[in-house]
Structures are given as structure tokens and as C-alpha cells.
A and B are shown apart, each in its own frame.
Chain A
């Protein structure tokens, strides 16, 4: 018998996880369900609107934001396995409606209940033990939006510290951007590749065999560069390790015959 009714959590999967890494989405579902949440994944979601917002198309960004607000505002909590998408909803939706008091009110109400996944697990649900096992030495990439807009840094580390068999080695330049930047990585490929090459060099310097992070955009970028250089370092979304679901799919950028 449950003491209190289950928290109904709306999961905003993110467009990149939906298309590129469903396993990370299911890992997020598992972590939330293990914690006693009732997880709902609304079909009416597509993307949080960052591509439009960061390209200067405020009208499209507003239209998409209204769609997200309408879809998710009924939930107790909205959880997003991405720092940059969570930052978009929490910080930028209210700014998008600076001229529209009614929508801004709704955006603010949603922002208050929106959480990045690792923060939700640690700070809202108070979880510190993952109960997972992963054999390896990992390093962690702090995605810029999560780090600077939401202060996501200690939360994933706190959870990873409880993973049996996992040893975490920190990156020397953990504050540096990986060069993804959404459309930046294809608009300025030479700059982006230079930045991700620097990041990859410092990942390799740690001697880790696994790279983890909380934002799929950065992980696709880093995995893409690692694989181009022939590196065997495995890349996963942090949720996949915490939910012990790394074995459910080959690492990002790898397949059954990838070598």
C-alpha cells in the first residue's frame, strides 16, 4: 500500500533521444519508475524549440513553446534528460513570452515544475543510490547549458559515485565547450571540429574507457569525433549507466560490426 499517491511525471524525451538514442529515454523511464513515479510520455511532443530560438526565429520558438506548455502543464513534474532542453523550458520559455503576460504566467508555472533528470532524482526525490553496476573508468562531460543555466554538476557525480565498479576520472578542461552548439556545428564545421578535437584529446588524457554526459547533442558530437579518430572509448548517456541499461544497445556511434 502506498502512503501517498504516485507522482505523475511527464517525460519530455527530447528530439535527439527520440531519433538517435531511444535507449537513453527508456533508461530515464526506468529510473523514474524505480523511484516510484508514474511516467507519462505525451505523444504530442516533438522538440523544445531550441533550434528556432537559437537561430533567431522567435515566432516559431513561441509556437513550439506554447505546444510544450499545453502538453505538459497538467503534470506534477516535467522531467527532461537533457540540460539544454531543460534550460530552454525553465529559463528561456518565460523570456520568450516577455510581451505576453498570460503565456508568460503559464511558462513560469511550467518552469517551476520542470527538472533536468539527474537534478530531479537527487534533489527532488532525494535519491543517492543508483543500485547499478558498470565495470569501467569513466569521465564526465558537463554540457554548457546544464552547467551554467541550471547548475548541473554535482548531481550526476553523486549518482555515479554509487555505481558499483565505476571509477570516475575528471576532465582537466571540464568547463570547456565541446563545440556542438546546435546549428553551430554544421554552420562552422572547422571551428566545431577544432573544439571537439581539443575535448577528445583531454578525454583521452584521462585514460578513461567510457565517456558519459547528460546531453545527447554533445555526446553525438564527441562520439562522432572519437569514432572518426578510431578511438575505442565508449560513449553513453548518464541515464543508461544509472539504469544499468548500457548493455541494451551498443555505445553511441557503434554497432554490432563497428570495428
Chain B
């Protein structure tokens, strides 16, 4: 997926002005929050489960090499094949090579954020394959030629009207005088269209929610059942997964699933949970004849042994997006790459480099709600601060931000000078705005005063008043 992460600021302003987007976001934003809360309120041991989930992921990351090799051995024993890819290019080449080897033409896909990360669709299409997304949200944005805007709800930025219009334009074979109006009709029509695609695909590609080292299983959760059709109907199933998805046991997966569904959509469990362990066995009635798992690193192993290792615990529930006031105001596209919101503000600069996404760690109030709702306790604000420190030391922070900061720091380190300057500032600005108690506009504070009045400083600072009080109060 192409990145435009450097254009965050302009995109965020455009997003705020986009009324259709605002309509879609307003509808979605509260829904996720309330459903999650209701699901958690109904499960008293939720916090304990989260702590257990954190420990499982930490343990797996501490022994990542061991469990990845374990996964490879177990899957190989079941007849599957594991491929290791250091970079997105390597991963795409491996997938293309598998598709070529099986003389594939049509490929169905389940939703995969790692697939988006490595720009898999673009690579496959460039090599002449026909790729059809089968997750409804992914299908919609594929028709619209847009990237996903949310890691679990890729088309959350689209209104029902926009989707109906897309279907009206692209489903020409279905005769209809006007666009569909109701959600069930939209879902039903996508089912009809996709059914024939499922049956005629040569290769199915999915992501993975978890990889299980002890059994070699790929765990996939969906609400539409499309994952099962993609992974079992075509003769070849390819899984693309990043390396941090591996966990030791099936028992661990049950714990993680209990926090994943609740954190993501407020569901106790998603509608479909599939465990895929190798290709079709002799006595299986269905399933692919070949199963491949492409394990993508793309910067993850470099995060191990650093503070950013905590980020690898992420189970992609999207709760941090759903509770982020910045994401809620602008949606995912402004972030410019596949991972938006708080988790994206850390992953994008880590994977693509801080210079490619200089705004992302800064565009946050550090309010900490994301950390509160993260089921695996990732210290997101602390990691964002860490990125800000890197930006500052590497001089990625622009001079217009550095200069006022340096001036302020100089003052703050010299109390006498500081109080002198503050006394002057209060005397001047305080008197200027004394009558109304606020400024409508101030030349050096436009960022503030364009949308807000600026309350005026007091005529005398606290410290000046305190000095006088002490003088007149001999005790």
C-alpha cells in the first residue's frame, strides 16, 4: 500500500470538512465504544483475562524464534509449507511464485491487514492475476479503489448511500432501476455476486489472527464466513501473516479470543472462528490440496529488544482507534497508511521510518484512553513520547517547533529571569485584555485564537502577588 503519511495535517483538515465522512464516522464512533463496554460489563473477569493475554503475548515474544520454528515444524508435519519473508517485496514475490506454480488466474481474498501492508493486491494485479476481495468491507473499498480506513472495519468511512451507489455502478448485470436502500439488501447482493467468485477461484489468500506453535494451526476470525470459503474452496490456500502472531498453545488462543472479540466489536465471540491446520487430509471431505504460510517480518524483529517490543503484543482489535478522539474526528485515511489511530501512529513510523510519518506521533493529546482500553496493556502514550524524543534528537522536529521550545526551556531553567518575563507579560497582556477578560485574536497565537477566545493573563502573576502578601504579612 502506498504511503502518504507525511501529508497528515492537510488530510486531517480535509477530513474534518468532509461532511459525508463525518456522517459515517458519527454513526460508527459511539457504536463500537458502547458495545465494547456492554460486553466487558457482562464479564467480571475481563481485566484478569487481559492480564493473562498480556502475559501470553509477552512470553511468545520473549521466545519468538522458538515458537516460530515450532509453528513451522508442526505445520510442515501436517503437510503445509512455511515461507520466510524479510521484506514486503520478498513476501509478494513468494505469493506470486506460488500462484504461478499453480497456474492460477483468479484469486479470492479474505481481509488481511498484512496483505495491505505489503501491497499484495497491487503485486498480484501487476503480475496479471485477477484479485477479488470477499470481506464485505474490503470488497466495497476495492470497488471504490480506496485503502481501508479501519483495521477491523475497512469501509467504516463509507455511508450506506455511497455503498448503494457503488453497487449500482459496478453490478450492472443485476437489473435494478435505482440503488438499494436497505443494509440487508446490500449484504444479500454482495453474497450473490461473490458466490460465483468463491466457486471459481484458483487460489484463496487470507491473513491470520493467530498462529499456534504447538499444532501448526492458523486461527482466523470473521463475522461473514468469507474466510472459510476463501480458505477451503480453492485448491490452494495462502496465508500471509506477520511473525508476531504466533502463540504457544491452543489454550492461549482461547484466552486471546475472549478478549479480542469483546475489545473489537463487543462480541463474546465472532460469528466464525476457524482453525486451519494444513491442507486437506485423505479422509477430509473438503479443503485445499496445498496450504502455504508466508511469514512476514517487515521491521518486527528490529523492534524486539527495544521499548517498541510492547507494540508487538497488539492483537489488532481496533479498540484504540475506536476510543481515540483524533481518529474519531478524522477517520483512518488521514493517517496515510494501512494502520491508523494510536497503534498506527506507532507502527507506521517504526515500519516506514519516522521521516515518512513525522506528524503521526505528534498528533495526539496524550490523553491515554487508548492505553486504558488496550486489552494487552500496550503503553501507547509512552511509546508516542518515545517517538517524539527520537524526532527531537534526530532533528526531524521542525525549527518552527524547536525554536519556541528552546526559548521557553531557557526561561524555565532560570527562575529569576522567568519571573521577570512573566511579570512583564502579565503586566502588558493582562492590562490589554483586562476589560473583556479575553482576546479575540493575538498575532502570535493564531493557532489558538482562530477557533477560541484566549483568556487573558492576570495583571499580576501569582508569584508577584505572593511576594507582596509575604511583605505585608510579617508572620
Contacts and interface: CB of A to CB of B under 8 A. Distances in A.
Interface in A160-185: 175-177, 179-185
Contacts of A190: 12-13, 16, 451
Interface stretch (B53-61, B170-178, B250-258, B461-469): B461-469
Q: Count chain B CB atoms within 10 A of each CB in A23, A190, A193, A227 and give the residue with the most.
A: A190
Contacts of A181: 364-367
Nearest to A251: B437
A2 interface: no
Interface stretch (B63-71, B94-102, B240-248, B409-417): B409-417
Contacts of B425: 19
Interface string A244-259: 0000011111111110
Given A184-B363, A190-B16, A224-B438, A55 B460 contact: no
A193 B451 contact: yes
A44 interface: yes
Contacts of B393: 56
Contacts of B390: 56
Interface stretch (A60-68, A112-120, A130-138): A60-68
A232 interface: no
Interface string A227-243: 11000000000000000
B457 interface: yes
A4 B362 CA distance: 49
B463 to A, nearest CB: 6
B294 to A, nearest CB: 36
A220 B433 CA distance: 15
B372 A250 contact: no
B371 A47 contact: no
Interface stretch (B77-85, B213-221, B283-291, B324-332): B324-332
B369 interface: yes
Interface of B: 9, 12-13, 16, 325-326, 329-330, 362-369, 371-372, 382, 385, 387-393, 397, 401, 405-406, 408-409, 411-413, 415, 418-419, 422, 425-426, 433-438, 445-448, 450-458, 460-463, 465-467
B296 to A, nearest CB: 30
A197 B325 CA distance: 12
B438 A253 contact: yes
Contacts of A64: 409, 412-413
Nearest to B326: A191
B interface, over-half SS: helix
Contacts of A186: 445, 447-448
Given A177-B369, A250-B437, A224 B392 contact: no
Please provide the 8 A-B residue pairs with the shortest distance between their CB atoms, ordered closest to farther: A181-B365, A255-B437, A193-B451, A56-B392, A224-B452, A186-B447, A56-B388, A144-B367
B437 A43 contact: no
A interface, over-half SS: helix
8 contacts: A19-B458, A22-B462, A46-B413, A179-B325, A186-B448, A189-B450, A191-B12, A255-B437
A54 B392 CA distance: 11
A52 interface: yes
Given A18-B463, A225-B451, A255 B411 contact: no
Interface string A4-16: 0000000001010
A123 interface: no
Interface residues of A, number: 75
A177 B365 contact: yes
Contacts of B389: 56-58
A257 B436 contact: yes
Nearest to A44: B415
A220 B445 CA distance: 14
Q: Count chain B CB atoms within 10 A of each CB in A191, A193, A194, A227 and give the residue with the most.
A: A191
B367 A148 contact: yes
A46 B415 contact: yes
B451 A228 contact: yes
Given A18-B422, A184-B363, A254 B437 contact: yes
Nearest to A176: B325
B435 A257 contact: yes
A191 B397 contact: no
A144 B369 contact: yes
Contacts of B367: 144-145, 148, 177, 181
Contacts of B460: 22
